[in-house]
Amino acid sequence: MEKRDEVREFLATRRARLTPEQAGIVSYGTRRVAGLRREEVAQLAGVSADYYTRLERGRTTGVTESVLDAIARALQLDDTERAHLFDIAKPSPTRIGTRPATPTQRVRPGLLRLLDAMSDVPAMIQGRRMDILATNPLGEALYLGFGQEPGRPRNMARFVFLDPQAPELFQNWERSGRDCVGMLRYSAGRHPDDRQLNELIGELSVRSPHFRAWWADHNVRRHTTGTKHFNHPIVGEITVGFESLYVGDDLEQNLVTYTAEPHSTSAQALKLLASWTITPVTASNTDTTSARMAQDS
């Protein structure tokens, strides 16, 4: 999507979801719009109606941070949505000739050793477009190998939307899918010229009606902590808390870990799954983490 279209759709969808009552505005008579009118947003932000209308049409040249801040407050954007608005409203750098290639993401050897050492905790390194750059055997087993499409980088969003195992694995598949969409849209705002990210979004839009519908909502998300519920085909129901942490000073790689409450049935299920990963495939698994280094990013 062109930057102008992205700004227009994002602001329009944020405005549509906010009612006058939520914004503290007294509403009179019949309203033709679901949420706030443009002039109401302008009033709340302290700008003219004409100026806000130009912004919502994607004409962001020269817009200041103070104006974007005012609009974010008027639309009651959360921190992630505010950051996304700043990303999509900022001017694109002028490029001469072809666009530079997106750097390849590499996982440091020390992190690979750390993953191997976390034998009782499912863990993975996830890249900027939800590529699975590296994982330990228990993380591999928890996610059923992420679909393992030969010759393609393994990707969490592709697994969630395109692998037939995913709707059975996730107890709340729709929530997992919507989270993936929100994270990809946030990443797309930060990296609008990432060709492979745009290709992934295009592929998912073509192949998944759910992705296509949820992408049109323009919701954004940074998924750093929470709870996931699995219906695992080998060990049954598992409930785990997850934490997603930046790797050093690299804001494009995250270490994601999953832990269960001590002495819970989920903790027992993870122990059983860990023993299952060790028994039949010990020899092959000892080398898998190194082999999973760094998909092209």
Query: Domain containing 25 — which CATH number?
Result: 1.10.260.40
Residue 237 lies in a domain: yes
Mark whether 76 and 126 lie in a shared domain. Answer: no
Region 224-231: mean pLDDT is 95
Are 133 and 253 in contact by the 8 Å Cβ rule? The answer is yes
The span from the CA of 256 to the CA of 244, in Å, is 4
The span from the CA of 131 to the CA of 211, in Å, is 17
Is pLDDT at 151 greater than 50 in this prediction?
A: yes
Considering only residues 158 and 106, tell me which one the structure prediction assigns the higher pLDDT.
Answer: 158
Does this model's pTM top 0.85? My answer is yes
Residue 19 lies in a domain: yes
Residue 220 lies in a domain: yes
Give the residue carrying structure tokens 């299920």: 269
Mark whether 71 and 150 lie in a shared domain. Answer: no
Tokens of 148: 């393992």
Are 122 and 258 in contact by the 8 Å Cβ rule? The answer is yes
CATH of the domain at 191: 3.30.450.180
Using pLDDT thresholds of 50, 70 and 90, give the confidence band for residue 101: low
Angle formed at CA 171 by CA 167 and CA 177, multiple of 5 degrees: 55
Q: What is the pLDDT of residue 71?
A: 97
Residues sharing a CB contact under 8 Å with residue 216, sequence separation 6 or more, in sequence order: none
